[in-house]
């Protein structure tokens, strides 16, 4: 008997019947298990060593962990956390807004705006943030008054530098203007990543350059812009510790101040680190949902969130295999007659 090995023909009684689902013995991965055990052992040892070391660290205030607990929610530290958050948010808002403006300027056909943007990025990326913050903090050494006015008249609106540039303002301006230079390049990368056909289609509809940017290109660029922006925000959270040069007592400075007072250096570093880790975790979480929002239209179905996946795992552990529809041949239902 010879048979043509091309599956059942349409006439065969088997046609349309679904064969039984495959049940095969999965490939074993002994090395995965072994490496997992090894990693766990090393991690446990490291945690234990650190834990007991801190426990035995005698600072006169009892066990190290008690010190950590005591200061974790202490008023001074909480004040520092608040300031750190304030600095991060304010600096990132300045950075993102100015960054978008700089990126659009950089890509503009107008040579003046493009060169201005290039120079800005060159200067603010090329000098250390700490120097920039320190400069704004000491601005009144070079400028005593800030304001606008008409030369050769008495008409002027302004105030003395010391009233305008408070230490907090100096830190925010320093961090924000520096961040804008980095954000400009991130936004530019996003804009370039959007297919040129999009711009053309929008122009063909009569949209102006600004409308094309605002309505068509930037929303699509967001997908590329958000991950590195999340990166920048998390990095900014920790860079705010440089605000100490402007005497702003944010989290790290506060922890140092307390440590100088009670000599519990390691304990307070742990306190600060725990807060930084906690804030970073929140930001990471927020970034995930922001990315999902801007992914609309880029994927057919959004993948389930970790929570949804977890729920699915819990409730479908012993679920029956998915139902197979009876229809074997699908006819496109939108074909016009």
Partner 1 sequence: MVKAEAVHKSYGRLEVLRGIYLEVSPKEVTCVIGPSGSGKSTFLRCINHLEKIDAGRLWVDGELVGYRQRGDKLYELPDREVCRKRSEIGMVFQRFNLFPHMTALDNIVEAPVHVRRESRGAAEARARKLLDRVGLVDKTNSYPNQLSGGQQQRVAIARALAMQPKLMLFDEPTSALDPELVGEVLDVMRGLAEDGMTMIVVTHEMGFAREVGDTLVFMDYGVIVESGKPRDVLANPKHERTRAFLSKVL
Q: Site residues (CB under 8 A) for partner 1?
A: 195, 197-198, 200-209, 211, 215-216, 219-220, 294, 296-300, 332, 334-336
Closest CB to partner 1 among residues 156, 200 = 200
Residue 329 beta carbon to partner 1: minimum distance, rounded to whole angstroms = 14
Q: Report the 10 Å Cβ neighbour count for 289.
A: 9
Three-class SS of 271-283: HHHHHHHHHHHHH
Residue 95 beta carbon to partner 1: minimum distance, rounded to whole angstroms = 24
Assess contact for 216 and 136: CB atoms under 8 A. Answer: no
Helix (H) or strand (E) holding 146: strand 145-149
What is the three-class DSSP state of 334?
A: coil
Residue 192 beta carbon to partner 1: minimum distance, rounded to whole angstroms = 17
Assess contact for 194 and 187: CB atoms under 8 A. Answer: no
Closest CB to partner 1 among residues 21, 112 = 112
* Helix spans in the chain (H): 30-56, 64-72, 75-106, 111-126, 129-137, 161-164, 167-193, 196-204, 209-211, 218-239, 251-262, 265-294, 306-315
Closest CB to partner 1 among residues 148, 337 = 337
Closest CB to partner 1 among residues 29, 292 = 292
Closest CB to partner 1 among residues 125, 209 = 209
Residue 201 beta carbon to partner 1: minimum distance, rounded to whole angstroms = 4
Closest CB to partner 1 among residues 60, 332 = 332
Residue 198 beta carbon to partner 1: minimum distance, rounded to whole angstroms = 6
Residue 229 beta carbon to partner 1: minimum distance, rounded to whole angstroms = 18
What is the three-class DSSP state of 157?
A: strand
């Amino acid at each position: 008997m010879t048979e043509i090995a091309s599956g059942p023909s349409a006439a065969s009684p088997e046609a349309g019947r679904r064969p039984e689902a495959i049940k095969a013995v999965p490939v074993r991965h002994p090395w995965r298990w072994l490496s997992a055990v090894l990693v766990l052992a090393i991690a446990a040892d490291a945690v234990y060593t650190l834990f007991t070391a801190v426990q035995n660290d005698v600072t006169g205030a009892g066990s190290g962990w008690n010190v950590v607990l005591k200061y974790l929610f202490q008023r001074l530290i909480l004040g520092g956390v608040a300031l750190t958050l304030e600095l991060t948010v304010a600096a990132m808002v300045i950075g993102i807004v100015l960054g978008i403006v700089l990126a659009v300027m950089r890509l503009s056909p107008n040579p003046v705006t493009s060169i201005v943007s290039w120079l800005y990025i060159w200067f603010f990326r090329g000098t250390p943030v700490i120097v920039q913050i320190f400069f704004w903090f000491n601005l009144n050494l070079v400028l005593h008054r800030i304001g606008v006015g008409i030369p050769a008249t008495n008409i002027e609106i302004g105030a003395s530098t010391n009233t305008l540039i408070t230490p907090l303002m100096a830190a925010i301006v320093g961090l924000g203007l520096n961040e804008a230079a980095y954000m400009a390049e991130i936004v530019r990368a996003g804009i370039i990543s959007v297919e040129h056909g999009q711009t053309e289609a929008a122009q063909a509809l009569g949209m102006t350059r600004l409308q094309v940017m605002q309505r068509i290109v930037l929303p699509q660029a967001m997908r590329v812009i958000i991950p590195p922006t999340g990166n920048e925000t998390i990095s900014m959270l920790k860079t705010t510790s440089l605000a100490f040069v402007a005497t702003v007592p944010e989290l790290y400075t506060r922890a140092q101040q307390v440590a100088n007072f009670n000599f519990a250096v390691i304990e307070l570093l742990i306190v600060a680190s725990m807060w930084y880790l906690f804030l970073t975790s929140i930001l990471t979480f927020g970034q995930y949902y922001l990315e999902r929002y801007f992914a609309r239209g880029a994927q057919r179905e959004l993948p389930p969130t970790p929570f949804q996946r977890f729920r699915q795992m819990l409730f479908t552990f012993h679920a029956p295999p998915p139902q197979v529809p009876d229809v074997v041949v699908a006819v496109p239902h939108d074909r016009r007659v």
